[in-house]
Amino acid sequence: MTMSNISLQDRKIGDHAIVMGASIAGLLSARVLSDYFKNVTVIERDKLNDRPENRKGQPQAGHGHGILPSAMAILNRYFPGLGDAVNESGGVMADLGSSFIWYVLGGYRKPFESGLLLTLASRGNLEWQIRRRLLEIPNVSLLDEHRVVGLMTSEGKTGVSGVRAVNLRSNDTETEVRGELVVDALGRESGAPRWLEAMGYDAPQLNSVEVDFGCASRIYERQKGDLGGASMLVINPGPMPNLRCGLIFPIEGDRWVVTLAGWNGDHPQADDAGFLGYARSLPAPDLYDTIVDREPLTQIGVFKVPAVRRFRYDKLDSLPEGFLAVGDAVCSFNPTFGQGMASAVMQADVINTAIGQHRNIKGIGKDFFARTAKIIDVPWKLSTSGDFQFPGTRGKKPFGTDLLNAYFDRVQKATHRDVVVHEAFLKVMNLSAPPISLFKPGIVRRSLLGRKN
């Protein structure tokens, strides 16, 4: 009997699953688990109102966000019509090839119709559109204003049997929430590695790269004719010694989110004059020219990433039964590369694959983390290779990184004139093609020999 012939009720493998964290990774994880458990509870530290708004625990809440087409296809599968709803609420669907002004290494990428539509909106709106659909599912509930402080263990400490959480609405009283499966979607602040050690398990190996990255964002009115009608602007850093980049993202309400960012401590200032001065120093003038005479609508929000981190749960010899982790709780990327949300969505989708094959919780962790490690490998290698272009980045640099970066520079420059190379690059960026595809003979010839389309 195939899974499609099994009723949802017959597919239930447990009474209660718990998701720690109401991030996009957590919300999608809860949606997947709602098909397999009688009840699913999402526990979130922040207060969650039924409206689109930023919250304290959202990563880079006030900065630009986009969901890659590969990830939106997955989200639309679990939440039909989600992309249309984001668009109708004022978000923007923009073609990655034709709707962007994208400056990199001394020139602009040559535009073309790619058919790859990036979904652009505020983080608050994206999460709310997903969350309200999730909470319409009868067996899903939300426990907000509760901070998870530890895992509960089964008899013999062979597995996880729930979580301990502090009620932030009631004098920090502690409560126990029991469940057969716990998913960690707590992001960068997750305490799971030390909680596992307290249970007698090894903490996962940590791979860390010190980037000393910082960004600053503020919102401006979006006016007709801005950017010559383009949907978005990206100005990459470089050539060295320029460590600075800038982005303009559209969000609902006919507004722009303008983000400035820099590596290795070269961060934008959080005052009016400093923000404009930093914008003027970018390698291309488009961003500064757009905002120089524009009155900002908000104050400047700052976000810093001292290091990017990856916890290697896939390399652990043993794991407690009933524990999974997704998103930034496993791997946090430099946000400028734009692949963090897509990776998290793909990881959550693997929960469905793993449970569908095992039909129970036992042994699911090993399989799940092995599968998600392969998903994480690509954006981790791409983003950290990019980080290692900057001289102040510190960490274990994989062999061949400098040679790889030198070739990628040639690929990037080829996108100025060659839409074939541009298309190949976008497919890798979208996580719909592996990086090795950029080493196909035709792409290599076009990148190294300067062949035009």
Residues 333 and 430 both lie in one domain: no
CB atoms within 10 A of CB 176: 11
21 belongs to a structural domain: yes
Quote the domain boundaries for residue 443. 400-449
Q: What is the pLDDT of residue 5?
A: 39
Residue 335 confidence (pLDDT) = 84
In this structure, the answer to whether residues 29 and 142 fall within a common structural domain is yes
Q: Is residue 58 domain-shared with residue 157, that is, in the same domain?
A: yes
Domain count, the chain: 3
Q: Which amino acid belongs to residue 254? A: D
Domain final residue pick, 267, 286, 305: 305
Residue 248's CATH number:
3.30.9.30
What is the amino acid identity at position 145?
Answer: E
**Is 87 domain-assigned?**
no
C-alpha neighbours within 13 Å on the C-beta side of residue 189: 13
**Tokens 């919780």 map to which residue?**
361
Q: Are residues 298 and 347 in the same domain?
A: no
- Give the model's pLDDT for residue 12: 86
Which residue, of 258, 278, 305, is where some domain finishes? 305
Pairing of strands 323-325, 181-184: parallel
Give the HSE-up count for residue 376: Cα atoms under 13 Å, Cβ half-sphere: 27
The residue out of 305, 326, 355 marking a domain boundary is: 305
- The whole-angstrom distance between residue 72's C-alpha and the CA centroid of its chain comes to 12
pLDDT under 50: residue ranges of the chain: 1-9
Together in a domain, 186 and 324: yes
Domain presence at residue 47: yes
Residue 94 placed within a domain:
no
Prediction pTM value: 0.94
Report which DSSP code applies to 140.
E
Give me the pLDDT at residue 175, please: 94
Residues 173 and 218 in one domain: no
In a shared domain, residues 278 and 424: no
pLDDT in the model for residue 194? 96
Contact 24, 126 (CB under 8 A): yes
CB atoms within 10 A of CB 200: 11
Whether residue 95 lies inside any domain: the answer is no
What are the tens digits of pLDDT across the range 173-187?
A: 999 999 999 999 999
Give me the helices (H) in 135-265, please: 192-198
Radius of gyration in angstroms for the set of CA atoms belonging to the chain, rounded to a whole number:
22
Q: Reduced to 3 states, what is the DSSP secondary structure of residue 434?
A: coil
Q: Are residues 203 and 70 in the same domain?
A: yes
User: Does residue 48 form part of some domain?
Assistant: yes
**pLDDT tens digits for range 104-147:** 999 999 999 999 999 999 999 999 999 999 999 999 999 999 99
Residue 329's Cβ-count burial label (10 Å; 0-12, 13-18, 19+) is: buried
Residue 309 to residues 214, 230, 336, 440, Cα–Cα distance (Å): 16, 34, 15, 31
Torsion sign (Cα): 43, 49, 53, 56? negative
Read off the pLDDT of residues 412-452 as tens digits, 9 standing for 90 and up: 999 999 999 999 999 999 999 999 999 999 999 999 987 65
Do both 77 and 19 map to the same domain?
yes
Give SS3 for 401: helix
Q: What is the CATH number of the domain that holds 55?
A: 3.50.50.60
* Residues 162 and 132 reside in one and the same domain: yes
pLDDT value at residue 241: 81
In a domain, 315, yes or no: yes
Q: Are residues 198 and 238 in the same domain?
A: no
| Chain Cα centroid distance, residue 415 | 25
Q: For position 363, what pLDDT does the model report?
A: 84
Rounded Cα distance, 260 and 182, in Å: 37
Q: What are the tokens at 411?
A: 């690929």
Which tokens hold the place of 24?
A: 């996009």
Whether residues 198 and 261 fall in one domain: no
